[in-house]
Chain A
Amino acid sequence: MRNDFKSQVESRLDDLFHDEEEIVKPTEGLGGFGDHPLKTLKARLLSVEWEINDSSMEGLINELKSLEGFYQGDKVILGFLRLLRPVARYIKVRKGKSHPKATGLLNSVYNSLERVAVSKNMSRKEKEKILLQEMEKFKKLKEDVIRRREEKKEVVEDAAAAPQPKSGAAPAQEPAPDSATKPSQGVSASAVEEIKELIREEFRALREEVRHWRDSR
């Protein structure tokens, strides 16, 4: 009975999902990239995520620093590495609040760097052109970040200009997380905002779970 049921499930699954079954070779060695100096950097970048913690970002930044030493003689490669470092530092500081395109830029710059570093036939002019394209993207991101900061500041200023609540009433707006005037207030406001957001997320998840549960009944 048991085997009958199991084999029926297996056969149904085979019918549904039949044309895939390539096995990954469990090899242990390193292929393609071999002992290339960028190997560790690539691994570090692959692990960079929004759940960024100080140690992983520190690892990435240190790797970039050490590569800058290694590539002293190659101005183009050095250019790419010097683009990566401020982006990594920015993500390390801002973590989940980084601009959404920041991690994308990190990957884009790295991909271009890899293309340039690995290619044997690319002319210097071509390499410089790729570097310039990445520098443009970096500049654009920088402008976006500044614009975003300015917009936030305006929202805070508008809130400050609005009529003040009566004494004892709750403030109309939380101070901006980036508030530079009183750092301790800024930090605590940012922490409160983060906790609020977390609670909101958890409630949303709970509602979603209830909805699915209802749908499934």
Chain B
Amino acid sequence: MAIVNLKKGEVQAKIVYYGPGRGGKTTNLEYLYRKFHDRIKTEMVTIKTHGDRTLFFDFLPIEIGKIKGFDIRIQLYTVPGQVKYDATRRLVLRGADGIVFVADSLVIRRKENVLSLKNLADNLATYRKSLVDVPIVLQYNKRDLEEEGIPLLSLATLEKDLNTQLKAPSFAASAQEGPNVVKTMKKIIVMTMDSLRRDLM
């Protein structure tokens, strides 16, 4: 749930990057931080295990500036993708105003994508929400691996598996190389802010 401080004229929205382990959630945030650090002027907080995996979450705050008299702040979070950290995932998901689901395009990760999306729905249900209640953008990550000859799921398959019912905006992306990482983020911010608009105006 966004924090709206009418007195101070501040709005803070929380966007969570969700998806299967090793799908590229942290890489998305790292790309944004690396590329736009000078402009967003904030620090990225990341807590990893010795195996370079997200243990708790990554956190990247972004100051958008004043719009309609409100200072808009966006907080980007990632959840740990590993199956065993479900409680942490649920915790990070609490109060999310928008979600980016980062799917792994590798053929052999097809099942994990579907399970992770189901896990997202289950965890939202604990907060009495469903996937259609929260603005969501799908990102089909690791498309760059196609050039290396790695078997990837076709975009049509990913759409069929994950987006048949949701009909959410989706992007083929490469968090490693950058294409569509910013586009994904922009889209979810616009959708989230649009859905919060009623609280603002």
Residues of A within 8 A of B (CB): 1-2, 5-6, 8-10, 12-14, 16-17, 20-24, 26-34, 36, 39-40, 42-44, 46-47, 49-51, 56, 59, 96, 98, 100, 103, 198, 201-202, 204-206, 208-209, 212, 216-217
Report B35-48 CB contacts with A as 1/0, cut-off 8 Å: 11001100000010
- A32→B39 contact, CB < 8 A: no
- Between-chain CB contacts (< 8 Å), 6 pairs: A9-B193, A17-B186, A49-B22, A49-B82, A103-B51, A204-B56
Give A24 to B59 CA distance when docked, in angstroms.
26
- Of B57, B82, B146, the contact of A30 (CB 8 Å cutoff): B146
Q: Check if B102 is an interface residue, CB within 8 A of chain A.
A: no
- Of B3, B53, B149, the contact of A49 (CB 8 Å cutoff): B53
What's the nearest-Cβ distance from chain B to residue A110, in Å? 12
Give A68 to B104 CA distance when docked, in angstroms.
29
Please classify the interface of chain A as helix (H, G, I), strand (E, B), loop, or mixed, using the class held by over half of its residues: helix
Question: How many contacts between A and B, using CB within 8 angstroms?
Answer: 158
- B82→A51 contact, CB < 8 A: yes
Give A21 to B85 CA distance when docked, in angstroms.
34
Give A78 to B94 CA distance when docked, in angstroms.
50
Report B42-67 CB contacts with A as 1/0, cut-off 8 Å: 00000101110101110100101101
Residues of B within 8 A of A (CB): 3, 12, 21-22, 32, 35-36, 39-40, 47, 49-51, 53, 55-57, 59, 62, 64-65, 67-68, 72, 75, 81-85, 87-88, 91-92, 94, 104, 106-109, 143-151, 154-155, 172-174, 178-183, 185-186, 189-190, 193-194, 197, 200-201
What's the nearest-Cβ distance from chain B to residue A44, in Å? 7
8 nearest CB pairs, A to B: A33-B149, A51-B82, A100-B50, A50-B51, A51-B21, A24-B179, A205-B56, A24-B143
What's the nearest-Cβ distance from chain B to residue A117, in Å? 13
Chain A residue numbers with a CB within 8 Å of B12 are: 216
Taking CB as reference atom, which chain B residue is nearest A56? B108
